[in-house]
Amino acid sequence: ASATAVAAATVASTTAQWLRDSPRFPAFVAPGRPRVLVVTGSSPRRCSDPDGEHLLLRAFKNKADYCRVHGFDIFYNTAVLDTELSGFWSKLPLLRTLMLAHPETELLWWVDSDVNFTDMLFEPPWDKYAGHNLVLPGSEENVYTIKSWIGINAGSFIIRNCHWSLDLLDALARMGRTAPWGDKTFLESSYCLSGFWAYIVDRFEEMRRDSTTPPEPGRWPLTTHFMGCKPCGGDDSTYDAAWCRRSMERALNFGDDQILNLYGFKTLNTTAVRCVRNDTGGPLDAGDEELGRLLHRTFRAA
Ligand code: UDP
Ligand code: MN
Task: Give distance in angstroms: CA of 95 to centre of ligand 2.
Answer: 16
> Contact, 203 vs 251, CB < 8 A?
no
Q: Nearest ligand to the C-alpha of residue 112?
A: 1
- Triad 194, 75, 41: Cα angle to 5°: 60
**For a substitution probing ligand 1, which of 114, 149, 197 has the most ligand atoms within 8 Å of its CB?**
114
Nearest CA to ligand 1 atom 22: 227
pLDDT at 75 over 50: yes
Q: What are phi and psi of 265, to 5 degrees?
A: -130, 165
Instruction: Give distance in angstroms: CA of 295 to centre of ligand 1.
Output: 31
From the CA of 40, give the closest atom in ligand 1: 11
Query: What does the pLDDT look like over 26-51, one tens digit per residue?
Result: 999 999 899 999 999 999 999 999 89
Contact 113, 230 (CB under 8 A): no
Atom 17, ligand 1: residue with shortest CA distance: 88
Range scoring the smallest mean pLDDT among 83-92, 166-175, 176-185, 256-265:
176-185
Asked if residue 275 has pLDDT above 90, the reply is no
pLDDT digits (tens, 9 = 90+) for 117-175: 999 999 999 999 999 999 999 988 988 888 887 788 899 999 999 999 999 888 887 75
Summarised one tens digit per residue, pLDDT across range 217-260 is 778 999 999 999 998 987 777 899 999 999 999 999 999 999 99
Banded pLDDT at 291 (limits 50, 70, 90): low
276 pLDDT above the threshold of 80: no
Integer-rounded Cα Rg, in Å, for the chain is 20
pLDDT at 270: 66
Q: Predicted confidence band at 178 (pLDDT cuts at 50, 70, 90)?
A: very low
Distance CA 194, CA 156 (A): 6
Query: How far, in Å, from the CA of 224 to the mean position of ligand 1?
Result: 15
Instruction: Please check whether residue 111 is in contact with residue 95, taking contact to mean a CB–CB distance below 8 angstroms.
Output: no
Q: Sign of torsion, CA 129 133 136 141?
A: negative
Banded pLDDT at 290 (limits 50, 70, 90)? low
Inter-residue contact 137 to 156 (CB < 8 Å): yes
Mean pLDDT, rounded, of the chain: 86
Q: How far is the CA of 160 from the centre of ligand 2 (A)?
A: 21
Instruction: Please write down the HEC assignment for all residues of the chain.
Output: CCHHHHHHHHHHHHHHHHHHHCCCCCCEEECCEECEEEEEECCCCCCCCHHHHHHHHHHHHHHHHHHHHHCCEEEEECCCCCCCCCHHHHHHHHHHHHHHHCCCCCEEEEECCCEEECCCCCCCCHHHHCCCCEEEEECHHHHHHCCCCCCECCCEEEEECCHHHHHHHHHHHCCCCCCCCHHHEEEECCCCCCCEHHHHHHHHHHHHHHCCCCCCCCCCCCEEECCCCCCCCCCCCCCCHHHHHHHHHHHHHHHHHHHHHHHCEEECCCCCEEECCCCCCCHHHCCCHHHHHHHCCCCCCC
Which atom of ligand 1 lies closest to the CA of 115?
Answer: 15
The ligand with the least distance to the CA atom of 113 is 1
pLDDT at 302 over 60: no
Provide the residue count of the chain.
302
* Chain segment 196-213, per-residue pLDDT in tens: 999 999 999 999 888 776
Burial of 251 per CB tally in 10 Å (0-12, 13-18, 19+): buried
- By most ligand atoms within 8 Å of CB, the mutation choice from 112, 115, 244 for ligand 1 is 112
End-to-end C-alpha distance for the chain, whole angstroms: 39
Query: Do the Cβ atoms of 116 and 223 come closer than 8 Å?
Result: yes
Give dist(CA 178, CA 185) in Å, integer: 14
Q: How far is the CA of 154 from the centre of ligand 2 (A)?
A: 8
Instruction: Indicate the residue type of 287.
Output: G
- CA distances (Å), 164 to each of 99, 101, 169, 170, in order? 12, 16, 9, 10
**Residue identifier of the C-alpha nearest atom 20 of ligand 1:** 230
